[in-house]
Structure 1
Amino acid sequence: MQNKITQLFNVTYPIIQAGMIWNSGWRLASAVSNAGGLGLLGAGSMYPDVLREHIVKCKKATNKPFGVNVPMLYPNLEEIIQIIIEEGVKIVFTSAGNPKAYTQQLKDRGITVVHVVSSVKFALKAQEAGVDAVVAEGFEAGGHNGREETTTFTLIPMVKEKIDIPLIAAGGIANGKGMLAAMVLGADAVQVGSRFVASEESSAHRNFKKMVVEAKEGDTLLTLKELAPVRMLKNKFFEEVMELYTKNPTKEQLQELLGRARAKRGMFEGDLDDGELEIGQIAGLIHDIKPAAQIVEEMVSEFETAKISIQDL
């Protein structure tokens, strides 16, 4: 399965585990990397000293490449970037911000940089900023998302048509068939989030993992676009958000309801009523909690089987 992405990251399979907040610690990242994919630490839910600890532990747990995902809407960015450089991390995925901010600084130190986008416009801006690859993430994805509501399988061929650098598909991909479909449409690799939430090594609370595997079609919705669009499972907090929308709320009222640490409360601490439970639409296709290595192995096996099956069409 060697291609531009496996060569860029020096990995066996073109499968990237998304660097999700409250889910993607060193155990998950190292497990995916050891299985032949690319594991990512989710810096968005880590204070700088915690991130350093996870990088150190990840380096001890794997001798394979791994990276760090850095959402640029969070504080302490300068310190986080400095820690990444000091600890010798070789791959950085940036998201939710201007790709020009740190790309050159990181590349000058030999770091491979990838930026996450939700539109053709931002894919072109990322390419102009000098990134090595882009992740094009569709509307189906969990967590913070783009406002355009462009689906993954619409977005991928449109981005592919306009850029020259490697392309990674994200949003709504949880198995080998989805991986093959994305690559047929022009992706060089896939980034997988929700499926790895429901892994043994994910740092998500067991309550949240259980709710993910019990989710059905239609159990998630993208909302809070006035703040930062986020797809989450419907629960008590979600219903409170919907109730507030009936009153034509201001941005400040929405922010007051959201408060602080909602995502931590839900995904990390397991509060299924008042927490923010971020997950993708594909949760309806996730039915069990498995070791990350098994998830990678099954994706690769299903990919190869599906590729053979379509040759007869």
Structure 2
Amino acid sequence: MQNRITQLFSIKYPLIQAGMVWNSGWRLASTVSNSGGLGLIGAGSMYPEVLREHIQKCKKATNKPFGVNVPMLYPEIEKIMDIIIEEGVKIVFTSAGNPKTWTPFLKEKGIKVVHVVSSVKFALKAQEAGVDAVVAEGFEAGGHNGREETTTFTLIPMVKEKITIPLIAAGGIANGRGMLAAMVLGADGVQIGSRFVASEESSAHIKFKHKVVETEDGGTRLTLKELAPVRLIKNKFFNQVQELYTQNPSVSQLKNLLGRGRAKKGMFEGDLDDGELEIGQISGLIHEIKPAAVIVEEIIAEYEKVKKSL
């Protein structure tokens, strides 16, 4: 299954495991890389030295390519980038910020750079900044999201029409059929997050994993757009946010309700009532916690089977 993405990253399958906060540690990343995809460590929920530890453990667990996802709003991003250089990481996915800020620095160090976007406008800016590829993420995706609410099905062909660099589709993809659909729309590869949350190697709390499996169609919603749009499972905290919206709240009131550490409380510590439970709409299609290697195998097998049957 060789194409521009497999060649860019020297991987077997054009399948990237998203670097999700509180979910994507070295165990998950190394397992996906060993299975033929590209595993990503999610730096957004790690102190610099914790990230260093995860990178070092990942290097010991796999001799395959892997990368690090870095949200550029991270408060200690200079330290994070220094560690990435020091540890010899060769692939970096950036998000939540201007790609011009770090792309030239990383490229000078021989690192392949991919930027996550939610619109054609930002895809063009990323290409102009010199990134090697873009991840175009639709409104269906879990976690932090674009304000435009453009769905993956419409975003991918629109971005494809405008850029020349490799394109990775994300948002609402959890199986081989979804992967094939994204490729038909013009993607060179896919980035999958939610499906890997419910994997044995995910660093998420087991209670959160089971909650993802239980979540059905309509069980998530995008909210908190005034701060940073985030897709959440509907729980006690989500209901408190919706109740506050009936009062036409200020940004400061929303920040006060959100507080600090909500995502860690929900996804990493397993507080299903008061924590942020970030997951994509595709959670309604996730019915079982499985080993990450099995997830990759099943996605690729279904992709090939459906492609052959068409």
Who is 2:39 aligned against?
39
Amino acid across the alignment from 1:247: Q
Who is 1:112 aligned against?
112
- Residue 275 of structure 2: SS of its match in structure 1? coil
Amino acid across the alignment from 2:284: G
Q: In 1, Cα distance between the equivalents of 2:132 and 2:164?
A: 10
Q: Is 2:153 the counterpart of 1:153?
A: yes
Q: CA deviation at 1:271?
A: 0.1
Who is 1:27 aligned against?
27
Q: CA deviation at 1:258?
A: 0.1
TM-score by length of 2: 1.00
Who is 2:194 aligned against?
194
Q: In 2, Cα distance between the equivalents of 1:75 and 1:149?
A: 27
Amino acid across the alignment from 2:282: I
Who is 1:86 aligned against?
86
Who is 1:127 aligned against?
127
Encode CA deviations 1:165-200: one digit per residue, 9 max, x unaligned. Answer: 000000000000000000000000000000000000
Q: In 2, Cα distance between the equivalents of 1:56 and 1:111?
A: 17
Q: CA deviation at 1:140?
A: 0.1
Q: CA deviation at 1:257?
A: 0.1
Q: In 2, Cα distance between the equivalents of 1:117 and 1:168?
A: 10
Encode CA deviations 1:77-133: one digit per residue, 9 max, x unaligned. Answer: 001001000000000000000000010100001000000000000000000000000
Who is 1:101 aligned against?
101
The Cα RMSD (Å) is 0.3
Q: In 2, Cα distance between the equivalents of 1:295 and 1:41?
A: 18
> What is the aligned length?
310
Q: In 2, Cα distance between the equivalents of 1:199 and 1:75?
A: 29
Q: In 1, Cα distance between the equivalents of 2:304 and 2:57?
A: 33
Structure 2 unmatched ranges of 5 or more:
none
Q: In 1, Cα distance between the equivalents of 2:190 and 2:139?
A: 15
Q: Is 2:14 the counterpart of 1:14?
A: yes
Who is 2:183 aligned against?
183
Q: CA deviation at 1:309?
A: 1.3
Q: In 2, Cα distance between the equivalents of 1:73 and 1:154?
A: 27
Who is 1:165 aligned against?
165
Q: In 2, Cα distance between the equivalents of 1:212 and 1:72?
A: 27
Amino acid across the alignment from 2:12: T
Runs of 4+ in 1 over 4 A off after TM superposition: none
Q: In 1, Cα distance between the equivalents of 2:15 and 2:295?
A: 11
- Residue 113 of structure 1: SS of its match in structure 2? strand
Q: CA deviation at 1:73?
A: 1.2
Encode CA deviations 1:1-49: one digit per residue, 9 max, x unaligned. Answer: 0000000000000000000000000000000000000000000000000
Equivalent residues in 2 for 1:69-80 (5 A)? Answer: 69-80=69-80
Q: In 2, Cα distance between the equivalents of 1:308 and 1:105?
A: 43
Who is 1:260 aligned against?
260
Q: In 2, Cα distance between the equivalents of 1:74 and 1:57?
A: 22
Q: CA deviation at 1:242?
A: 0.2
Amino acid across the alignment from 1:291: P
Amino acid across the alignment from 2:214: E
Amino acid across the alignment from 2:224: L
Amino acid across the alignment from 2:115: H
Identity of aligned residues (%): 81
Who is 2:227 aligned against?
227
Structure 1 unmatched ranges of 5 or more:
none
